[in-house]
């Protein structure tokens, strides 16, 4: 069950992702979630570490954009210094804006990855557009209540995912 919601990779944070390797596997474009992925929930501005990461990815020649389910005001505030292509009210897991983001970056699904902290929004959305799905652990344990509701089911899915990894390792 839930196999179609398993991430392709699961990392501790956006800073642990081997971007170089993924690039050599053909990834050209990244769609980042914001809350609890690039910054702690309710953190209005990107932390220094995140700014440096984005710059490094751009220098590597990767296209980067932001896709949040949050509103435009929060997104604009966060993106003020970054000036990335960005989409608010993403309605993830719905695919509409992710598809648009991918198209505007000129990338195919095989060349795109979505990076986020939630299975039921970010990972599901990536699966829908057939992009690579990268899950990271949430940056903080604070969530808005709508997200808190989803964390229970997410735990079930992730424990199945981890079991499947262990089973694969034994084979
Ligand atoms: Mg998030």
pLDDT tens, 19-71?
999 999 999 999 999 999 999 987 789 999 999 999 999 999 999 999 999 99
Q: How high is the pLDDT of residue 170?
A: 81
Sheet of strand 112-116, all strands in order from the earlier edge strand to the far edge: 9-11, 132-136, 112-116, 29-32, 63-67, 86-87
Q: Domain tally for the chain? A: 1
Range of the domain at 109: 3-170
Q: How high is the pLDDT of residue 143?
A: 77
Cα–Cα dist 99/96, whole Å: 5
Q: Answer for the pair 81, 75: CB distance below 8 angstroms, yes or no.
A: no
Whether the pLDDT of residue 147 is over 90: the answer is: no
Q: Answer for the pair 64, 54: CB distance below 8 angstroms, yes or no.
A: yes
CA–centroid distance, residue 37 to ligand 1 (Å): 5
CA–centroid distance, residue 22 to ligand 1 (Å): 21
- Return all residues near 143 (Cβ < 8 A) that are at least 6 apart: 36, 41, 151
Task: Identify the three-state secondary structure at position 40.
Answer: coil
Whether the pLDDT of residue 149 is over 90: the answer is: no
Segment 62-85 shows an average pLDDT of 96
Whether the pLDDT of residue 165 is over 80: the answer is: yes
Which CATH number do you get for residue 64? 3.40.50.1000
More confident residue, 96 or 144: 96
CA–centroid distance, residue 21 to ligand 1 (Å): 24
Q: Answer for the pair 50, 38: CB distance below 8 angstroms, yes or no.
A: yes
CA–centroid distance, residue 34 to ligand 1 (Å): 6
pLDDT tens string 92-135 = 999 999 999 999 999 999 999 999 999 999 999 999 999 999 99
CA–centroid distance, residue 103 to ligand 1 (Å): 22
If you ran DSSP here, which 8-state letter would residue 45 be given? S
Task: Identify the three-state secondary structure at position 114.
Answer: strand
More confident residue, 3 or 114: 114
pTM of the prediction? 0.93
CA–centroid distance, residue 90 to ligand 1 (Å): 11
Cα–Cα dist 113/123, whole Å: 10
Segment 134-146 shows an average pLDDT of 87
Q: How high is the pLDDT of residue 10?
A: 97
CA–centroid distance, residue 60 to ligand 1 (Å): 25
Which run of H or of E encompasses 63? strand 63-67
Nearest alpha carbon to residue 126 among 95, 147, 150: 95
């Amino acid at each position: 069950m839930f196999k179609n919601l398993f991430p392709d990779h699961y990392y501790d944070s956006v800073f642990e992702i081997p971007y170089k390797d993924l690039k050599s596997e053909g990834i050209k474009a990244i769609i980042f979630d914001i809350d609890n992925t690039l910054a702690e929930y309710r953190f209005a501005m990107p932390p220094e570490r995140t700014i440096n990461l984005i710059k490094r990815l751009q220098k590597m020649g990767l296209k980067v954009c932001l896709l949040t389910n949050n509103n435009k005001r929060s997104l604009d505030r966060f993106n003020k210094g970054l000036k990335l292509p960005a989409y608010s009210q993403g309605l993830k897991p719905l695919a509409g804006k992710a598809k648009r983001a991918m198209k505007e970056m000129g990338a195919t699904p095989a060349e795109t990855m979505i990076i986020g902290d939630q299975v039921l929004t970010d990972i599901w959305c990536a699966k829908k557009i057939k992009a690579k799905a990268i899950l990271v652990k949430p940056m903080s344990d604070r969530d808005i209540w709508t997200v808190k509701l989803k964390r229970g089911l997410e735990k079930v899915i992730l424990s199945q995912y981890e079991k499947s990894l262990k089973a694969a390792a034994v084979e």
